Chain A
Amino acid sequence: MTGQPIAILDGGTYYHHFAFADPMVADRVDTVVTLRGLRPAQLAGFGTVIVACRSNPDLLAEAAEALIGVLRRGDRLVVLGENEPTGWLPGVRETGVPTNYWWWLDPAADLGLTLRTPDHPLFRYVDLQSATWHYHGRFDLPQGAVGLIDCVEGGPILYEDRVSWPGTLLVTSLDPIYHHGSFFMPAASRFLDGLMAWLRASADEPCA
């Protein structure tokens, strides 16, 4: 692949295995790196490092130095949902929200998500509908960061922060790899496909 290489971290769970084996992920990343025992040198040279959904937060805390190093050196760190980043990533504050798994059983219902920055390039690859299944938390938006999708409780469930670090941090409470790798929740699969396509395109062409 051309452009800045992308690494994704493997926690050894079944859902990481099945999602990473899918071309939707496999064709868009350059290297799968084992999270357990991660050393900073293993992330050298990657322009984007992805922390997959529901990685073990104990292991993330042990790997924090390596992960923060990606941001410090000016590269991009993508933190997907259910990773408890508040515990290991300075400046990220997530508040859990009661998860409504069943909202869509009522035909008149609306999960209540809104696109906050519709002209962000990510939204050429995903739409609000594909981000709509359920979410587990909302974030305090750091000053200068860009909220991408907001929830009805207030605050973003997905944001991009280009100001707090030399690098770029993309963080969300959505957990599409968990759902796609669990063969459960078609919207999550569409979101993952779009997200991975955008990460690849923007790694190859920074303005994509």
Chain B
Amino acid sequence: MTHTVGYLQHRRRALPNWTADAPEGVDVMAVPETELADLPTGAISALLVGMHVDQCLFAANRAWTRGFLAAGGTVIMNGLLAYPFLDGLARFQPLPRRSREALEVRIVEPVHPILRGVSAHDLSYRKGVAGFYGRGQVPPLPGARVISTLDHGTVPLDWEWPAPGGGRLLMHPGNDLWMYAGGPTSAARMAHQMLAWAARLPGFGEDAA
């Protein structure tokens, strides 16, 4: 069975190269951001939302997103949330102090399938520079599971929220998870693992830690 993961696209151009490295059984399909509202929710099992999309437009399509989550769909939201698209979601809040130490990422146990084999150091530093992965928080929705943190574990960073109806929202308020794809560190694993998790492949779904 093939699982189709939608990539919300803001440009009229080919899918990014990293999507070619999808796990077996996962297809990535371009979904132009202007056509999302017309997409049948059953056409894709997950939707990837990158940091450069028109968030205002995405939020205007909140009815679609709610329906998609209620039907069991998965949304992976990257970037700093400026236009909340679900009840209870708040805007991104930057860390009050963005010191190097405060920007260090900690991975919460048990490790989420997307972060398996990824070191916190490789999330914290890209060629020695801190802050690419996360610089603040979108406060987790009630019932969310926190996946990673900033500022000595005190600030939630990535989180997963189980939506009523079986859907899942993964919030990553930082640069795109797939930005690291093809890179030289363990952070490069995330893109592939994210697609496997998005498609609920065996070992990456609810059966996984």
* Cβ-defined contact, B128 with A14, below 8 A: no
List A30-87 residues whose CB lies under 8 Å from chain B: 34, 36, 54, 56-58
User: Chain A's nearest CB lies how many Å from the CB of B60?
Assistant: 9
* Cβ-defined contact, A102 with B98, below 8 A: no
Does B80 lie at the interface of the complex (its beta carbon under 8 Å from any beta carbon of A)? yes
Chain B residue, CB-CB nearest to A61: B12
Chain A residue, CB-CB nearest to B60: A12
Known: A14-B92, A58-B11. A184 touches B55 (CB 8 A): no
With the chains together, A105 CA to B129 CA distance in Å?
8
Q: Which of A10, A36, A101, A183 contacts B135 (CB 8 A)?
A: A183
* Cβ-defined contact, B11 with A12, below 8 A: no
Q: Can you report 22 residue pairs joining A to B where beta carbons are below 8 Å apart? A: A12-B53, A12-B54, A12-B55, A12-B56, A13-B55, A13-B82, A14-B55, A14-B81, A14-B82, A17-B82, A18-B80, A18-B82, A36-B57, A56-B52, A56-B54, A57-B11, A58-B11, A102-B127, A102-B129, A105-B129, A183-B80, A184-B131
Chain A residues lying within 8 Å of B131, measured Cβ to Cβ, are 184
Chain B interface: which size bin? 20 to 34
Chain B residues engaging chain A, CB cutoff 8 angstroms: 10-12, 51-57, 79-83, 92, 94, 98, 127-129, 131-132, 135-136
* Cβ-defined contact, B129 with A14, below 8 A: no
Chain B residues lying within 8 Å of A54, measured Cβ to Cβ, are 52
* Cβ-defined contact, B55 with A17, below 8 A: yes
Does A11 lie at the interface of the complex (its beta carbon under 8 Å from any beta carbon of B)? yes
User: Chain A's nearest CB lies how many Å from the CB of B81?
Assistant: 7
With the chains together, A34 CA to B157 CA distance in Å?
30
Does A182 lie at the interface of the complex (its beta carbon under 8 Å from any beta carbon of B)? yes
Does A15 lie at the interface of the complex (its beta carbon under 8 Å from any beta carbon of B)? yes
List A82-117 residues whose CB lies under 8 Å from chain B: 101-102, 105
User: Chain B's nearest CB lies how many Å from the CB of A201?
Assistant: 28
With the chains together, A10 CA to B83 CA distance in Å?
13
* Cβ-defined contact, A14 with B12, below 8 A: no
- Among the interface residues B10, B12, B82, which one has the most CB atoms of the partner chain A within 10 A? B82
